[in-house]
Structure 1
């Protein structure tokens, strides 16, 4: 029997990326292989509660047929059995991951959306990625804390990884108290620098769902 370390299960509105605004169940799995400076879910670094697939499914709102598996870093655990069960009950599945762990071919056939968030140096990490050899992301999300510095690093990253700019979404640091100002500042820099990336908010920061 597959057991998962779970931090929380809840239902809300998807706040980020291509799926922004979509009602979704959320399964937040425990632990992460990174410790980003601006992480807004540091509580997910904990060990969590051991739960079976049956226990997890019993806590979902099955009137909503979208489920997001997030973390922490969900790919630290073998989510294939869980994903199979979600598919068996006709759920659309979104996986939010930092991109440091490649999903198996089997899992790729099951998951509908891979929301991948590679980390720039503003995270406190210097990581190597290989998306140019294997572009498995549905789209990429990047946190921008200092537009003048980070957007140059992002542009170099996208070019070096041969990522389609249309797949790139950028958002300001969600921890900033002046979030709307940060969003405008980032938007202004994108226009000033003639960049092709999409600027999107974290919707939950604005409507304060969670």
Structure 2
């Protein structure tokens, strides 16, 4: 099986439960959800005109919609070739759950890595039992996709972007609908604006939830 890879790099995880964890990010191409505040819109479309060689994809110096096909073994070989030190894999996008992620996660877990998926919750999550699943539910987005009960049930953590009280109300309605229990709930201010941050802090305290502040953006790393 091949995966359409837009980026592969080593950095520090800046969000959710693994904040501060050295991580290898595998960014997949393709997402029809259509979030207005998305900061990776270059990963939305899958065009054959944007397909490049693996070598070309790896030499990109700016964000582009260019992608290349990699098998799980190709990705593992690349990670070994680059001598990355991180032992935590983060599969993101785009919307990574558009494809079966089991072969990719299974291979890395067999090599002693931990794996994590960041998904919108609008696609079935097909992965290993050990994989940590972060659902960042994208509610009423342009693409018209619904949040799946199976995705909410599989989530190890729920990380919800917020800017207004409406976003809080939408999350509470979603949690009530899907009867989520014993799952870490994170609020993540959109665009690091003070109003959104203040709202997130107050709501986290009121509900005993957690705050995710996108540390990587504050310290200026990818």
**TM-score of the superposition, structure 2-length normalised?**
0.80
Q: How far 1:52 moved relative to its partner?
A: 2.5
2:71 is matched with which residue: 38, 42, 52? 52
Aligned residue number for residue 89 of structure 2: 67
1:109 aligns with 2:129: yes
Report the more deviating stretch, 159-168 or 129-138. 129-138
Aligned residue number for residue 206 of structure 1: 218
Q: Which runs of 5+ in 1 are unaligned?
A: none
Q: Judge conservation of contact 2:23–2:90 (CA < 8 Å) in 1.
A: yes
Q: Which runs of 5+ in 2 are unaligned?
A: 47-66
Q: Judge conservation of contact 2:155–2:183 (CA < 8 Å) in 1.
A: no
Distance 1:114 1:86 in 2: 15
Distance 2:151 2:5 in 1: 32
Structure 2 counterpart SS, 1:135:
helix
Aligned residue number for residue 99 of structure 2: 77
Q: How far 1:167 moved relative to its partner?
A: 2.0
How many residues in Structure 1 have an aligned counterpart in Structure 2? 199
1:142 aligns with 2:178: no
Sort the Cα spacing of 1:120 and 1:196 in 2 relative to 1 into closer, same or farther, 3 A: farther
Aligned residue number for residue 97 of structure 1: 119
Sort the Cα spacing of 1:24 and 1:167 in 2 relative to 1 into closer, same or farther, 3 A: same
Q: Judge conservation of contact 1:144–1:170 (CA < 8 Å) in 2.
A: yes
Over aligned residues, Cα RMSD in angstroms?
2.3
Sort the Cα spacing of 1:158 and 1:65 in 2 relative to 1 into closer, same or farther, 3 A: same
Q: How far 1:72 moved relative to its partner?
A: 0.6
2:137 is matched with which residue: 118, 122, 136? 118
Distance 2:166 2:107 in 1: 43
Sort the Cα spacing of 1:167 and 1:141 in 2 relative to 1 into closer, same or farther, 3 A: same
Q: Judge conservation of contact 2:124–2:148 (CA < 8 Å) in 1.
A: no
